[in-house]
Amino acid sequence: MLEQLAHILMLLGTTVAVIVAFQRLHIPTSLGYLLVGIVLGPHAFGSNINLPDFNALAEFGVVFLLFAIGLNYSLPQLHALRHQVLGLGTAQVMLTTIVVAILLWLAGWSPVMAFVIGAVFAQSSSTIIASLLTEQGEENSQHGRLGLAMSIFQDVTAVPFLVIIPVLGAGIAANQLAGELAMVLAKAVLAFTLVFFAGRWLLRPLFHLVTQRRSPELFTLTVLLVALMAAWSTSSLGLSLAFGAFLVGMMLGETEFRVQVESSIRPFRDVLLGLFFIGIGMMFNPLALVDYWHYGLIGAAIMLVSKAVMVSLMVRASGITTMTSVRTGLILSVGGEFGFALLAIALQANVIDEALGQMALLSILFSMILGAFLIRFNKQITAMLFRGDGEAASSAVVDELKKPEQEVLIAGYGRVGHTIAVLLQHSGIDFIVLESDPKRVAVAKANGHRVLYGDISDAELLNTVHAERAALVVMAIDDPDAAAQAVRLLKKLYPQVPVIARAKDLEESSRLLEAGALQAYPEIIEASLRLGAAALHIMSVPEDDIETIIQDVRDWDYQVVADKP
């Protein structure tokens, strides 16, 4: 027991130190987890972390990763993306897999090994792409949005590989392979049907029941139960755990509970996914650098060049400008974390041998390092490629920024929140409501308002709904303490976003202003002011003078009328 505790402490201590260093250097943390695995693995320094069922626990990182991806790709969203991202993403994965597989097959590899490596090479790192684009301020550019959307969709297209790869390692005869694959795909359709109908009939009522208890712990436990139950169901059918998690995530993605589910599951996903990457790092033998470094570089070059060229041509063929197409291709050329996941599954299923696994690991690692530079300097590289064309070269250094539509974030859907939602809707202003009362959520949906179940004072939830993009936050919840806490959190995390709030009285208004609200309107005094304004109007006082008087009272923080009999 003490030995295992010592190994746990060594693992946690090394991980914390490495991740802190990588975050300070703005290096994707997935690479940091891989480094921890390499350092603490059995092949380096003789320090072998001996923890029972470590790999089994790390496997759940992929389960929760697929669950989170499913939340962001519900069936209606997949249908909406079918023309551009769906078509381009699917074509990119298929073409990269086929091209790389053919090249490896011509080089003398078996068709099965060539296919698996092609599928591994087709993946791109959403983490690296998102972090670098955000750091460079390109996340809202046309090439940035398209590249990130396609990289995320690659994870969805990788789901069939989760089903197929284990079958390829079963060692069955070639004439039986088609029948076996057909059987597995039939099981996948059956699993989808079961999860689809169970999700439609059971998930929403279940979460309505759970949210009525107003217990974050119960909500999180329910999310874990649903995700793991779906994973167990598909595993019982002979499919992967991750496939079931992805399916149930899609079903929950259609509900108003999506963002709160994603917020609740994120800590588990990130930690377990970190363990997964540590496990991948432990598979890597640093001595392989001596024997296979050149194969790793060749593999990385094949990955980077093939993906950059194919993506650029496909995006250009869809009608997008040459500059944007090339920059999108450079962004998507990088290797991906999901490639590691597919590689781990292939190794466990004995589809590829250890030597080939080491070469593929090196190729992905090198492509991540080199691909990060391609993403970082995608503008300069594109400008150099087209510098012979004066007009093209000048346009290559211009970002095609399209700022996303900003929306108002309303916290609470009581009397005040509902009124504000109606006013915004009639004014044609986009908004989204966050409400923690499931009954009010149902009312908002019945009124045709865009509403999500969630607590405005949850930092993870604010990150999930991208509160940093909000044009305005309206604090309309009727709990003074919760409102003040939420305002403080918003001003701490997103100081650039203005916050206005409702208050019951002047004391509550002062608390909200101290917490950071731009304005806090006390309902009692505001009602008196509107009554006074009506009286002045009846007495023929000019409208401009009335508004000036009312605004003067507000500018003096209501002190003129406060605490008066």
pLDDT at 52 over 50: yes
**Predicted local confidence at residue 395, as pLDDT:** 42
CB atoms near residue 27 (< 10 Å): 18
Same domain, yes or no, for 452 and 375?
A: no
**Predicted local confidence at residue 286, as pLDDT:** 78
Same domain, yes or no, for 353 and 453?
A: no
Same domain, yes or no, for 430 and 546?
A: yes
CA angle 232, 360, 270 (to 5 degrees): 45
Same domain, yes or no, for 321 and 220?
A: yes
Kind and range of the H or E run holding 502 = strand 499-503
Same domain, yes or no, for 77 and 112?
A: yes
**Predicted local confidence at residue 56, as pLDDT:** 72
DSSP state for residue 44 in the 8-state scheme: S
- pTM surpassing 0.75? no
Among candidate residues 365, 381, 397, the one where a domain is terminated? 381
**Predicted local confidence at residue 80, as pLDDT:** 61
Q: What distance in Å separates the CA atoms of residue 355 and residue 363, rounded to the nearest whole number?
A: 13
Give the pLDDT band of residue 405 (cuts 50, 70, 90): low
- The average pLDDT across 468-497 equals 92
Locate 549 and state its tokens.
Answer: 């008087």
Among candidate residues 381, 399, 425, the one where a domain is terminated? 381
Same domain, yes or no, for 231 and 344?
A: yes
CB atoms near residue 389 (< 10 Å): 12
Task: Specify if 236 maps to a domain.
Answer: yes
The helices-and-strands tally (H runs, E runs) of the chain is: 27, 6
**Predicted local confidence at residue 434, as pLDDT:** 93
Domain that holds residue 61: 53-268+286-381
Mean pLDDT score of the chain, rounded to an integer? 81
- The average pLDDT across 233-250 equals 81
Task: Specify if 402 maps to a domain.
Answer: no
Same domain, yes or no, for 164 and 239?
A: yes
Q: The CATH number of the domain where 431 resides is what?
A: 3.40.50.720
Q: What distance in Å separates the CA atoms of residue 281 and residue 258, rounded to the nearest whole number?
A: 32
Q: What percent of the chain has pLDDT over 90?
A: 19
Q: What distance in Å separates the CA atoms of residue 172 and residue 184, rounded to the nearest whole number?
A: 14
Task: Specify if 401 maps to a domain.
Answer: no
Q: What percent of the chain has pLDDT over 70?
A: 85
Q: What distance in Å separates the CA atoms of residue 266 and residue 455, rounded to the nearest whole number?
A: 15
Tens of pLDDT, residue by residue over 93-123, are: 888 899 889 988 998 888 888 999 999 999 8
Of the listed ranges 278-287, 412-421, 548-557, the least confidently predicted one is 548-557
Q: What distance in Å separates the CA atoms of residue 441 and residue 183, rounded to the nearest whole number?
A: 42
Are residues 77 and 258 in contact, defined by beta-carbon separation less than 8 angstroms?
A: no
Task: Specify if 152 maps to a domain.
Answer: yes
Residues linked to residue 474 through DSSP beta bridges, in sequence order: 410, 500
Tens of pLDDT, residue by residue over 313-366, are: 988 888 888 888 999 999 999 988 778 878 888 888 788 888 888 888 889 988
Pick 467 or 288 by higher pLDDT.
Answer: 467
**Predicted local confidence at residue 180, as pLDDT:** 67
pLDDT at 391 over 60: no
Same domain, yes or no, for 413 and 478?
A: yes
Same domain, yes or no, for 413 and 517?
A: yes
Q: What distance in Å separates the CA atoms of residue 422 and residue 210, rounded to the nearest whole number?
A: 29
How many domains does the chain divide into? 2
Which residues neighbour 448 within 8 Å (Cβ) at sequence distance 6 or greater?
none
The identity of residue 69, as a single letter, is I
Q: The CATH number of the domain where 93 resides is what?
A: 1.20.1530.20
**Gyration radius of the chain's alpha carbons:** 27
Same domain, yes or no, for 346 and 243?
A: yes
Same domain, yes or no, for 425 and 348?
A: no
Give the pLDDT band of residue 91 (cuts 50, 70, 90): confident
Tens of pLDDT, residue by residue over 205-218, are: 899 899 988 888 99
Task: Specify if 219 maps to a domain.
Answer: yes
Task: Specify if 346 maps to a domain.
Answer: yes
pLDDT at 480 over 80: yes
Task: Specify if 4 maps to a domain.
Answer: no
Same domain, yes or no, for 152 and 190?
A: yes
Task: Specify if 11 maps to a domain.
Answer: no
**Predicted local confidence at residue 494, as pLDDT:** 92
Among candidate residues 364, 381, 398, the one where a domain is terminated? 381
Locate 243 and state its tokens.
Answer: 């496939």
**Predicted local confidence at residue 404, as pLDDT:** 45
